[in-house]
Structure 1
Amino acid sequence: MPEHVEHLENVSLPPNQGDGEGASRRHREPLTRERILRAALQVMDQEGLEAVTMRRLGRELGVEAMSLYNHVKDKEAILEGILEVVMAEFEFPEETGDWEADVRAGARAWRRLMIAHPTVIALFAESKHPASSPERLRPMEWAFEILGRGGLSEVEVVRAFRAFGGYIMGSVLNEVANPVPGMGDRDHHAEHMQLAGELPPTEFPNLVRLLPLMAECDAEVDFEFGLDLLIAGLRAKANRPAR
């Protein structure tokens, strides 16, 4: 082997100049709107909504922040696009023809999606534009279709849709922000028991009696309880006979 070739074999390349993974691979991938939006969703899921900045996304994608503007108008367009990406993940339940079962399945699918991306709930609340992309419109169309089969008026369908949306997103926010340990968490249960024991029962009789149960809450069971109430209310509105 020639001396100069042997010498080159022993030379170590500096980082990101070989065939490694990571940033060098990201540079080779073409920058697209979809890549930007998916990177933004990943950053938001892991670090929160405040972390989604043009500079942060540039680092995540291995490009200059200014190059993002060739594919998205501004940060607001990215945030609106995140909603599009998330709603594209909605798993449409298989319809059974049973109105109540289909409503339940839709609500549960929506809850699963919000639990997977809880920080997106703030985006829904702050969004300045109505849904316009097919990814966002299809779940709404499906929900309107299912709710409309229950004998509700058109106005009631819209109000029911809003009621379900508010309930689902509110319950997920509460579940994520204030997770309630199960019955096995003796420390948490003991804190409630101690507080209940310290309260004057004549002034707080209900708290003394019910506080211990607060440590035994199950988020999914609570969600199903609220779902029962919503469906029962809609059935009453539509004068549907109870099953």
Structure 2
Amino acid sequence: MASPTDHPHPDTLPENAPSPTPKTRRPRLSREAVLTTALALVDAEGLEALTMRRLGHELGRDPMGLYRYAKNRADLLDGITELVLDQLDIPAHAADWQDQLRATAHDFRALALAHPHVVPLLVTRPLSTPLGLRPLGTLRPLENILALLIDAGFAPTDALHVYRAYYGFLYGHILNELQEMIVDPEENEDLLRLGLHRLPARAFPRLRALAPALAHYDGAGELEEGITILLRGLSAQLHPTNPGGPEGRPGLPKPLDA
């Protein structure tokens, strides 16, 4: 006699009975799947939340099994950095190098605001690693921008100067924008919205006076103003030599030696 726990033979099931459901199999892991989950965790809770144990819980897997896809937490952080930077599209060739750098700056800003907890990794992660030993994904923006600038007519060393000034400005802008915090968004008084009323009036008169400008910070507008100043200065100081350079473009300063 069959026990209650035995599965009935398909031939003995009632005509309208549902078929036995096979045991669901978990999808196979990959490095990309692990990093995507790690990035989602960082986006939601910050870098401090990212541990192998917590990541294993999110994936429903034994944390020890994750070491097949990431050697350690440092490898996870490098992988997250690459995953974010892979979303930044910098064509190696462009008709106008200034327009391309301007567009890339706004794309980078949008990417940083979408993943604010990753910004410290983008800025500081490579500091402890020699250039040639860094993850390839973190070097692609450098290679692509150098190609863009050299193709535009810049000497290779001048292209490197432009890159350094460009990303120095861009990282600084992003960090500044992320620090522009509103204490009380519902408050109408700008001084109170920012919490500046807590500062001693005699010690910080100029900062308190700038409350209206600080309270209505326009990140995209500030980036546009800053990148315009930067590109105009670079085009005048380190002008490319081909006809598509700043010499043939109205509204830009002529080279210093013109």
TM-score normalised over the length of structure 2: 0.70
Cα 1:104–1:67 change in 2 (3 A) is same
Please state if 1:223 is matched with 2:198. Answer: no
Residue 141 of structure 1, CA deviation:
2.1
1:176-187 equivalent positions in 2, closer than 5 A: 176-179=178-181, 186-187=188-189
| Partner of residue 238, structure 2 | 238
Residue 118 (structure 2) aligned to one of 113, 117, 120: 120
| Partner of residue 16, structure 2 | none
- Distance in structure 2 (CA, Å) of the matches to 1:132 and 1:42: 20
Residue 95 of structure 1, CA deviation:
6.0
Residue 54 (structure 2) aligned to one of 53, 56, 80: 56
- Distance in structure 2 (CA, Å) of the matches to 1:187 and 1:144: 47
| Partner of residue 143, structure 2 | 141
1:155-166 equivalent positions in 2, closer than 5 A: 155-166=157-168
Cα 1:180–1:95 change in 2 (3 A) is farther
| Partner of residue 14, structure 1 | none
| Partner of residue 155, structure 2 | 153
- Distance in structure 1 (CA, Å) of the matches to 2:125 and 2:47: 12
Give the total of aligned pairs. Answer: 220
CA deviations 1:112-158 (Å, max 9, x no partner) are 2222222222223033333342x444332221122334544323322
- What SS does the corresponding residue of 2:189 show, helix, strand or coil? helix
Cα 1:204–1:54 change in 2 (3 A) is closer
Residue 186 of structure 1, CA deviation:
2.4
Worse overlay, 148-157 or 43-52? 148-157
| Matched-pair contact (CA < 8 Å) for 1:92–1:109 | no
Residue 175 of structure 1, CA deviation:
2.0
| Partner of residue 45, structure 1 | 43
| Partner of residue 167, structure 1 | 169
What is the one-letter code of the residue matched to 1:104? R
Which structure's residues are more often helix, by fraction? 1
CA deviations 1:49-78 (Å, max 9, x no partner) are 111111011101111111111222111111
| Matched-pair contact (CA < 8 Å) for 1:160–1:234 | yes
CA deviations 1:87-124 (Å, max 9, x no partner) are 22123469651222122112222222222222222223
Say what the alpha-carbon RMSD is for the aligned residues.
3.6
